[in-house]
Amino acid sequence: MEQEKLAKIKELIEGLISSSGLEGHVAELSESEGSVLVQIESQEAGYLIGRNGDSLRSLQQLARAMVSKKIVDAPRLTLDINNYQQERIEMLKSAAQSLAREVVRQGSARYLPPMNAYERRIIHMTLIDLPGIKTESEGDGEERRVVIKPAGNPGTIDLGQI
């Protein structure tokens, strides 16, 4: 991607953060397959991230709208603040694998807390190839959650595979 576009993206995002009255700066822009990951560093990350990442998702949506309006052929943006997104993904994967082992061991379903579509997809993709379990999403709207259920005969599953 042209350096001009990346510089403009950085300028727009830093302007957006500044206009919110909070401190933060773009630490890194990395490209991958037509999208750009924007790493933001801030001493006020809690405000920028919000409860369960709600403010971060809103900030990302606003940033995407601004960039697509100002830049021709704008890339898809993903914002991350102080590595919150990456750490959240790792935590979700770990929790999913732990619950999957429980489901196989005990033979009963486990329910995860409600989460957004992106996070539910992470859970489904993490567990898709594991034997002895299946995942489904249940509920509506903000109450939609992933359920991990036993599949097949739990007694024949090697827990070392999970």
Tell me if 10 sits within 8 A of 41, measured CB to CB: no
Question: Hey, CA dihedral for 61, 67, 72, 75, is it positive or negative?
Answer: negative
Res 83: pLDDT: 95
Report the amino acid identity of residue 91.
M
- For residue 31, how far is the Cα from the chain centroid? 17
Tell me if 48 sits within 8 A of 83, measured CB to CB: no
Percentage of the chain exceeding pLDDT 90: 77
- 0.75 exceeded by pTM: yes
Q: In 10 A of CB 25, how many CB atoms?
A: 13
What domains appear along the chain, each with residue ranges and CATH number? 3-82 (3.30.300.20), 87-161 (3.30.1370.50)
Burial class (CB in 10 A: 0-12, 13-18, 19+), 132: buried
Rg (CA), the chain: 19
d(CA 112, CA 93) in angstroms, rounded, equals: 12
The answer for residues whose C-beta is within 8 angstroms of residue 47's C-beta and 6 or more apart is: 22, 55
Tell me if 100 sits within 8 A of 133, measured CB to CB: yes
d(CA 46, CA 107) in angstroms, rounded, equals: 39
pLDDT digits (tens, 9 = 90+) for 75-134: 999 999 999 999 999 999 999 999 999 999 998 999 999 998 989 999 999 999 988 899
Tell me if 63 sits within 8 A of 38, measured CB to CB: yes
- pLDDT above 90 for 47: yes
**CA 123, 33, 135 angle in degrees (round to 5)?**
15
Mean predicted confidence (pLDDT) in 62-68 = 95
